[in-house]
């Protein structure tokens, strides 16, 4: 009597392994994209107070780049945007501790030029 030959199917285990690795990579990358944080080292201060209603956030990075509400912006564009701010807007400035003092003064001077007085500096405790 002859035995029937077993037909071998496709081995899906390596395929599933590859899919799981790709899925893990997608989860890790999507986490970084969703956060979208700008890397800056904030200076430290002992007297810290939390602000609840922040209207605009200006970030100055170590490499002299400006960000307005987490979007990179040039100096000229920043000036145009600040013109649109109202006097009641609360503005926070986050400046890297290694950024130039000149860049910080530029932002402060720009805000004072348009009479924006509700300004806070972001620091680490």
pLDDT tens digits, one per residue of 27-67: 777 765 555 566 666 666 666 667 667 788 888 888 888 88
Contacts of 93 (CB under 8 A, 6+ apart): 58, 59, 60, 104, 107, 108, 119, 120, 121, 122
* 104-118 average pLDDT score: 87
- In the prediction, which pLDDT does 24 show? 87
* 92-117 average pLDDT score: 86
- In the prediction, which pLDDT does 5 show? 67
Indicate the range of 3-7, 76-80, 85-89 predicted with least confidence. 3-7
* 20-25 average pLDDT score: 88
Which residues lie across from 120 on neighbouring strands? 92
Which residues lie across from 68 on neighbouring strands? 58, 71
- In the prediction, which pLDDT does 62 show? 85
Choose the CATH number for 56-121 among 3.40.640.10, 3.40.50.2300, 3.30.420.270, 2.60.40.10. 3.30.420.270
Which residues lie across from 73 on neighbouring strands? 66
- In the prediction, which pLDDT does 94 show? 84
98 vs 53, higher pLDDT: 98
């Amino acid at each position: 009597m002859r035995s029937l030959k077993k037909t071998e199917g496709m081995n899906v285990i390596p395929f599933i392994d590859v899919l799981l690795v790709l899925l893990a990579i997608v989860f890790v990358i999507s986490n970084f994209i969703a956060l979208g944080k700008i890397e800056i080292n904030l200076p430290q201060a002992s007297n810290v107070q939390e602000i609840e209603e922040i209207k605009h956030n200006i970030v100055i990075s170590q490499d002299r780049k400006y960000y307005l509400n987490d979007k990179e912006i040039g100096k000229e564009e920043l000036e145009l945007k600040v013109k649109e701010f109202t006097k009641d807007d609360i503005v926070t400035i986050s400046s890297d501790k290694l950024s130039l003092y000149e860049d910080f003064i530029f932002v402060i001077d720009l805000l004072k030029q348009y009479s924006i007085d509700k300004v806070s500096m972001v620091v680490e405790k």
